[in-house]
Structure 1
Amino acid sequence: MKKLDTGFYNRADVVKIAKELLGKVLVTQFGDITTSGRIVETEAYAGHIDRASHAFGGRRTNRTEVMFQTGGTAYVYLCYGIHHLFNVVTNQKDVPHAVLIRAVDPIQGINTMLARTGKKRADYTLTKGPGNVSKALGINTGHTGRSLLDNDIYIAADEFVVNKKDIIATPRIGVDYAGEDAKLPYRFILKDNPYVSGKKLNA
């Protein structure tokens, strides 16, 4: 596998990046424990102009400041006080674009994932949905601000090639508050993958 570099993350089109992250491998290496999964669902958030983004209108808070860092930085935030959600910051410094990783297809370290999530068996709920992704891979808010160019959390490309016909674009999940922006087709999934969250699609 080849780790994605700054050239991948530091591009202007966050929607394109979200689509191209499908099929890539999200890896965590904490001590001698490695877990990984193939990304099968993403959502793009286009910063200042996107009402669904935490940084809409240029909003900068202690939580969102990391979104203004250079592309290739981890943004992990707590949702409902329970779920740690892992996002990839993209674009240049001070442009707060980000991609939420919503689901992965497990590859390595499944027994570790089961222990972290408290599950008895490796069914499709193991890494379905962004909260489960972070839990299974050991990612939490303490990792926000980490560089994805380091070795503890990173994304890599292997020989897996996504067929463009298998990519489906839909509106994002849970952003009804964003008005018209909630309808934007900024969520990308791999067709028929059982780890994809949300309602089953007929495409």
Structure 2
Amino acid sequence: MTNMGAIGSGPLTGNELRSFFERDAIAVARDLIGCHLLVNGAGGRITETEAYFPHDEASHSFRGPTKRNGAMFGPPGNVYIYRIYGMYWCLNFVCTPGSAVLIRALEPESGIAAMIERRGTDVLTQLCSGPGKLCQALGIDIALNDRLLDHPPYSISPSTPVPIIAGTRIGITKNAEAPWRFGIQGSRYLSKPFR
């Protein structure tokens, strides 16, 4: 069960945001499950996350700071966006410097018409069922990189506890056996089912 509900019900700001994210990425990845993310008014409940660390060979921070990953070494609650396969953006939230949580999927709740238009599909379970789809649906690109989650266009709020399942991460070859992927148990809004 997520612990974020104990923080309060409104969007996280200031010291509350910092104290939530300035922790171990695994704890943050678990506690983000069920939380509500909005980007310019579009978004929903976070259903799937993955944790990454500086000592983790699969992480962009493994070799230290670079121009590309600089936001990953920013303050807790900072946003780190990068591109994969030359075409898809991925959204991450910084925890302690060099560690972050990848937001893999969410259940659409707000701004659904805009998401449908951006994605070109009205199948709700397909709108945000993967990091690239999520960013496309929410209108996220590199222009929204290196900003704190309590600054526009972002807003993140806690939720009531949800049942959480854990498994190995997806789409990586290094340290692929680490059980650092988390999701809402039984959700239809995941990038892939948990085994």
**TM-score when normalising by structure 2:** 0.89
- Answer yes or no: is 1:171 the counterpart of 2:168: yes
Corresponding residue of 1:3: 11
Corresponding residue of 2:57: 51
Corresponding residue of 1:108: 110
Deviations 1:6-39 (A, max 9, x none): 111112x11010000000011112xxxx212100
Consecutive unaligned residues in structure 1, runs of 5 or more: none
Consecutive unaligned residues in structure 2, runs of 5 or more: 1-8
Deviations 1:38-82 (A, max 9, x none): 0000000012x101100114x221111111111111101111111
After TM superposition, give the deviation of residue 150 of structure 1 in Å: 0.8
Counting only pairs closer than 5 Å after superposition, residues 15-94 of structure 1 correspond to structure 2 as 15-29=26-40, 34-47=41-54, 49-57=55-63, 59-91=64-96
**What is the RMSD of the two structures over their aligned residues, measured on CA atoms?**
1.3
- Answer yes or no: is 1:182 the counterpart of 2:176: yes
How far apart are the structure 1 equivalents of 2:85 and 2:79? Answer: 19
Corresponding residue of 2:124: 123
Corresponding residue of 1:193: 187
- Tell me if structure 1 keeps the 8 A contact 2:167–2:194: no
After TM superposition, give the deviation of residue 122 of structure 1 in Å: 3.0
- Tell me if structure 2 keeps the 8 A contact 1:14–1:45: yes
Q: Give me the identity figure in percent.
A: 37
Structure 1 segments, 4+ long, off by >2 Å, are none
How far apart are the structure 1 equivalents of 2:194 and 2:39? Answer: 30
After TM superposition, give the deviation of residue 138 of structure 1 in Å: 1.1
Which stretch of structure 1 is more off in the superposition, 110-119 or 14-23?
A: 110-119
Deviations 1:88-139 (A, max 9, x none): 0112xxx2010000000011111110011122x2331111001111111111
Corresponding residue of 2:100: 98
Task: Determine helix, strand or coil for the equivalent of 1:19.
Answer: helix
- Tell me if structure 2 keeps the 8 A contact 1:170–1:185: yes
After TM superposition, give the deviation of residue 146 of structure 1 in Å: 1.1
Number of equivalent positions = 183
